[in-house]
């Protein structure tokens, strides 16, 4: 459903020189498009975003 659009965005990011370390595009074969499946993967974007926050010195520590 989203794959054709995501491939286009991935291509645009790659050709525009957007740094790979600031972008994450993943595909989960066979995963449903519902809240239960999204909840199972919630840690992936959360950890990615928090890592960026800590790297930039924006943590509350």
- The Cα–Cα gap between 29 and 58 comes to 34
Q: C-alpha angle 17/19/16, rounded to 5°?
A: 20
8 Å CB contact between 31 and 41: yes
Domain locations along the chain: 3-55
pTM score, whole prediction: 0.63
pLDDT for 6-54, tens place per residue?
A: 999 999 999 998 888 888 889 999 999 899 999 999 999 999 888 866 6
User: Residue 30 contacts by C-beta under 8 Å, 6 or more apart in sequence?
Assistant: none
């Amino acid at each position: 459903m989203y794959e054709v659009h995501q491939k286009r965005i991935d291509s645009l990011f790659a050709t525009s020189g957007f740094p790979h370390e600031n972008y994450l595009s993943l595909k989960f074969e066979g995963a449903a498009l519902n809240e239960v499946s999204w909840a199972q993967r919630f840690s992936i974007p959360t950890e990615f975003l928090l890592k960026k926050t800590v790297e930039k010195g924006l943590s509350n520590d």
